[in-house]
Every structure is written in structure tokens, then in C-alpha cells.
Amino acid sequence: MAASPQFASTPETRIISLATAGTGNRLNSQTASAFLLTCAGAGVSGTKVTQIGGKFQNSNGACSLFIFLSDTGGTTASALLYDEITFAATTASASAATVRSVNAYGDFQLMPGQSIYVSCSTATNTTPLNVYISAGDF
């Protein structure tokens, strides 16, 4: 056991609206991607990510959310596919909720300078996808 265990001391909960006319590509982090989070700040030695998820704002087709992790330079040019979240096709109505999907992580940490970018396998300009991350700096 560590003599001085570290715990997240500053919450990093972010949400973005992914609304692009282009479609993401799991082989290219620079295609229709958006910035989600970076590990940075005075005194920050890392960021622990506990979950990443998404919720469509209306009816949607089946698709995947691509999650890319960069090196410590933090650019999309260095980011590689880290994970994917799938969404089933859903028709929202007064009695049917829009789809939400989440991936939870037990041991996912960012080093200072690393960034997370996301893109979707379908265009989200007509039905935006709200993407969020729950994390904490230590």
C-alpha cells in the first residue's frame, strides 16, 4: 500500500454538445472530432476519469461515439482510439426517452498534457449528442 495515497481533489465534470455535419472515423482522430478534457492546471499531477457518456437530444440512428486519447502534447494529431460507446436507434416521444449510454472506468488516468477528443460515426448536426465526462484532478 502506498505511504501517501492520492485521491481526486478537484472535480472535472464537463459536458459538450457534439453537433457536426461530418462523421467521425475510428481510424482518424482529426475527423469531425471535438475536445472533451485535458489534464492541466497548476499543481495537477494527473486526472482520473471515472466515466464518459452521451445522451442524444432527440431521436437518433444507431451509431458509435469514438473516444480518442492523445499523448502528452494534447493534440488531435497524436490521439488514438481508446474506447467506443454504442447507441441504439431510438425514436423519442412524449412517453419514450432519448437514448443515453455510459462507459465506466475503474482505472483510467491521464498524465499532464494528455487530452480526450470525441467524434460520432453519424452526423450530429440535426440531432446533437451531449457528451460528458466525470473525472477528478489529483
Q: Give 56-114 pLDDT, tens digit per residue.
A: 999 999 999 999 999 999 999 999 999 999 999 999 999 999 999 999 999 999 999 99
Closest to 68 in 3D by CA, of 16, 44, 102, 32: 32
The whole-number pLDDT of residue 126 equals 93
Mean pLDDT over each residue of the chain, to the nearest integer? 94
Q: How far separated are the first and last CA of the chain, in Å rounded?
A: 18
In whole angstroms, what is the distance from residue 18 CA to residue 56 CA?
9
pLDDT at residue 54 greater than cutoff 60: yes
Residue 83 neighbours by CB under 8 Å, 6+ apart: 52, 67, 103
Between 6 and 105, where is the model more confident?
A: 105
For 10-91+110-137, CATH gives 2.60.120
pLDDT at residue 2 greater than cutoff 60: no
pLDDT at residue 34 greater than cutoff 90: yes
